[in-house]
Structure 1
Amino acid sequence: MVSPVVVGVDGSAESLAAAAWAAREAERRDRPLRLVHAWAWHPRRAEHETANAAQRQPARRALRRAEDRVRAECPRLRAVDAQLEGPVVPALLEAAGDADVMVLGSRGPSGFTGLLAGSVALGVVARATCPVVLVRADGEAADGHPPAGDGSAPVRTGHGDVVLAVDVHDACDEVIGFAFEAARLRGARLRAVYAWRTAGPVGLGSGDIGLVRDSRQGEEWLGFLQAVLQAWRDKYPDVEVRTTAVADKPTTALVRASTGADLLVVGHRLAERPVVPRTGPVTHAAIHHVGCPVAVVPHA
């Protein structure tokens, strides 16, 4: 069975943007598309049968709106839909269990434009075992290059880069591989970014390079970054790669590098028995503050 691209929809502008993004991604990946809507269920069905029935109607409307958006975006793409009953985050996680990619709208609860991800999106990202892409309603236009009709590689059309956040101390094949494949599918350039911190006067931190001048440290870190990516550049010779090692906070570097990008790819380490599932600080900041779609790729 071919793993689908799964998108959660709720009728909001963000979820419609997510549906459009997911449709284009399904075409690029030659995957089926599954639209899902999750709503809270009442366990004591005899008492709440009317309430359950009332929730199905708006769920149907949300799915219909998403289907219309998908048909407008990708007329030849076939999509299936489903209503999921249960607590929303667990229901979406179950839907993501066999997914190639899960796509969600990124919406903050506060109205502050600097806080983009809502509690449902964060809950899914923290626990999902497949890549999760968060899409903004106002960020959907920058979405790579459409697949060619004859199945050949897409032609570059001036869209933005795929940006990859790399930790040279803990580089993960799952994250790097996802970014290279995303760039290949879009005909886009891949920009790999590593942010390093200058050693303080007290002494060098763990893993810091003991060179005196910042410029020389930058050269060393850039060399490490290029070495980490070399095997992937050999595997994807048609993907243009730009590497950047910058002395800055990781979150600041990623927000800056992602301006005008098609996609930012970051990693998320899955804990074996998390007390409270959460993302790391860099990934958490990126999905709250970066304007382009953000792909969070889980890894061990």
Structure 2
Amino acid sequence: MSRPVTVGVDGSPEAVAAAAWAAGEAVLRKAHLRVVYADQSPGPATAQSGSFEARSHWADDLLGEAVEAVRREHPSLEIESRRRFGQPSEVLAEEAAEAGLLVLGSRGLGGVRGFLLGSVGLATISVTDHPVVLVRAPERPDAADGSVPAGPARDVVVGVDLDQFFAPLLDFAFQEAALRGDRVLVLYGWSIMPVVRDASALVAAERDMGPGIARRLTEALKPWRQRFPSVGVVEQSPVGGPARLLLHAADNADLVVVGRRVRKGSLGAHIGSVTHALVHHCPVPVAVIAHD
């Protein structure tokens, strides 16, 4: 059996959207869905009986409502639920290690201000090396699930840096596109040194360096084109900031895939400036893939 698609829930609208998206993803992967509530309250051995009983009823109701909402849309999907005790980021990281994919909600603050990712989501991304997808509550009620939309093929957008190890990002993006019948839009944004970054210098750089960079990108993608011959591929390597280019490309995307370089430092979260911008501002689900 495929490893489960796991979603963390807390009763928020963002978690509801994440559960709906995760259920659609589980259907695509022919996997089962695991719904997890990470409870920071004391466990049964240390909690006062009355408060623990009330908390248990609340948690059971939360999980039951989440499962029932999913089951209404996907009656044949196998679903399990778990209530676990501990710090949510640690619990969810442990769940991610068992799952094929972890899905979390991202709290929306509006189109201009973007996301308030929240300490739990940010901490979870930072401590797991496994794929995490962040889903915001949709503006349209029918836009939250992971099903394949009708009409022309959309994109799985993936941002790569040709100077870093990007294979895990492309593996994930091509597999997702194959499941959805989407094409993959591979984007590499590049620039020149700030001291010479005026309009004429940028035009000259794109003219002189652009073709060589495009050839590098084409060469780098050959193994994935061979492995996924049925997946359409679009390559783009324009001059420009990667975050801005990816956000623009998200307009026609079902999913945006970005990387998080694994670092062993102990101070704070390390997700990188591009990934930070995407998880805070992208209107569509964002997959964060750890890589060396």
Same fold (TM over 0.5): yes
Whether 1:233 and 2:225 are equivalent positions in the alignment is yes
- CA shift, 1:25, in A, is 0.8
SS in 1 for 2:48: helix
- CA shift, 1:48, in A, is 3.4
Distance 1:75 1:34, change over 3 A: same
SS in 2 for 1:246: coil
User: What is the CA–CA distance in structure 2 between the aligned matches of 1:109 and 1:141, rounded to whole Å?
Assistant: 18
Cross-structure match for 1:137: 137
Cross-structure match for 2:76: 76
Cross-structure match for 2:169: 175
8 Å CA contact 1:71, 1:77 repeated in 2:
yes
Q: How many residues are matched?
A: 286
Cross-structure match for 2:269: 277
SS in 1 for 2:251: coil
8 Å CA contact 1:142, 1:160 repeated in 2:
no
Quote the RMSD (CA, aligned, Å).
Answer: 2.6
The structure 2 residue matched to 1:256, chosen from 241, 248, 266, is 248
- CA shift, 1:43, in A, is 6.6
Amino acid at match of 2:152: G
What pairs with 1:13-162 in structure 2 (closer than 5 Å)? 13-42=13-42, 45-46=45-46, 48-107=48-107, 113-138=113-138, 141=143, 146=148, 157-162=151-156
Provide, for residues 197-223 of structure 1, a one-character-per-residue CA deviation record: whole Å limited to 9, x for no partner: 1344569xxxxxxx9542232222221
User: What is the CA–CA distance in structure 2 between the aligned matches of 1:104 and 1:263, rounded to whole Å?
Assistant: 14
- CA shift, 1:94, in A, is 1.6
Amino acid at match of 2:143: A
Distance 1:83 1:236, change over 3 A: same
8 Å CA contact 2:159, 2:246 repeated in 1:
yes
Distance 1:166 1:68, change over 3 A: same
Q: Higher helix proportion, which one?
A: 2
Cross-structure match for 1:152: none
Of 59-68 and 241-250, the range deviating more from structure 2? 59-68
- CA shift, 1:89, in A, is 1.2
8 Å CA contact 1:24, 1:73 repeated in 2:
no
SS in 2 for 1:196: coil
SS in 2 for 1:259: helix
- CA shift, 1:143, in A, is 5.8
8 Å CA contact 2:25, 2:146 repeated in 1:
no
- CA shift, 1:39, in A, is 1.5
SS in 2 for 1:262: strand
User: What is the CA–CA distance in structure 2 between the aligned matches of 1:84 and 1:68, rounded to whole Å?
Assistant: 19
- CA shift, 1:57, in A, is 2.1
Cross-structure match for 1:185: 179
Of 42-51 and 265-274, the range deviating more from structure 2? 42-51
- CA shift, 1:285, in A, is 0.9
User: What is the CA–CA distance in structure 1 between the aligned matches of 2:111 and 2:155, rounded to whole Å?
Assistant: 28
Provide, for residues 24-81 of structure 1, a one-character-per-residue CA deviation record: whole Å limited to 9, x for no partner: 1111111111000111123795563433322222222221221122112222101000
User: What is the CA–CA distance in structure 1 between the aligned matches of 2:291 and 2:222, rounded to whole Å?
Assistant: 20
8 Å CA contact 2:158, 2:186 repeated in 1:
yes
8 Å CA contact 2:106, 2:121 repeated in 1:
yes
Distance 1:144 1:161, change over 3 A: farther
8 Å CA contact 2:102, 2:133 repeated in 1:
yes
Distance 1:116 1:45, change over 3 A: same
- CA shift, 1:262, in A, is 0.1
Identity between Structure 1 and Structure 2 (%): 38
Of 254-263 and 43-52, the range deviating more from structure 2? 43-52
8 Å CA contact 1:108, 1:118 repeated in 2:
no
Cross-structure match for 1:242: 234
Gaps of 5+ in 2: 198-202
TM, length-normalised to structure 2: 0.89
The structure 2 residue matched to 1:290, chosen from 257, 282, 286, is 282
8 Å CA contact 1:260, 1:292 repeated in 2:
no
- CA shift, 1:125, in A, is 1.0
Gaps of 5+ in 1: 147-154, 204-210
User: What is the CA–CA distance in structure 1 between the aligned matches of 2:146 and 2:57, rounded to whole Å?
Assistant: 35
